[in-house]
Amino acid sequence: MVVKMKSRIEDSTHVYSIASGSGRTGLAVYLVASHSNRVALANAGDVLTSQVIGIIKRDYGNSVEIDFGGDVDAMPQTSITFGFGNNVFLSSSEAGKVTNISPSVGVCVRLGNAVKMKTNGKVQINLLISEVIEL
């Protein structure tokens, strides 16, 4: 008997509340500690805001649908282009965005690997459970 192992996390989504806004599709979020069902844009500049739980799949204004794993579309940091297989990190300079440059100080949050650049300006990544490392 041959058993095939899956190398990717399957897609899974859930809807969370968020501060009112729009245009946040593709941004990384963390779970706000004082609220069990509220998220905010993640940032690698601080350990508390760097605990990424997923990427915004749909933005409904004051709630968002979050992708927790699998191939997701993420919003790159300004002027960053990804190549296939590049490591993907949470940005410390632009909240919720991703970069392929590993930080040298602060918090390093690796989210997965780049699969391909999309024509909509986003990068498709294989989102893994994030690793947070204080540097």
To the nearest whole number, what is the mean pLDDT of the chain?
85
Q: How far apart are CA 59 and CA 8, in angstroms?
A: 25
Number of H helices, E strands in the chain: 0, 10
Complete domains list, the chain, with CATH:
13-134 (2.40.300)
Residue 49 near residue 97 (C-beta atoms within 8 A): no
Distance CA 40, CA 103 (A): 21
The residue with tokens 């602060």 is 106
Query: Where do runs of H (alpha helix) occur along 14-93?
Result: none
Indicate the DSSP class of residue 121. S
Confidence (pTM): 0.85
**Residue 7 pLDDT greater than 60, yes or no:** no
Q: How far apart are CA 28 and CA 67, in angstroms?
A: 9
Q: What is the pLDDT of residues 82-109, one digit of tens each?
A: 999 999 999 999 999 999 998 777 789 9
CA distance 19 to 63: 8
At residue 75, what is the residue type?
Answer: M
Type of residue numbered 1: M
21 DSSP 8-state letter = -
Confidence (pLDDT) at 46: 87
Token pair recorded at residue 16? 């969370």
pLDDT in tens, 37-72: 899 999 998 888 999 999 999 999 999 999 988 889
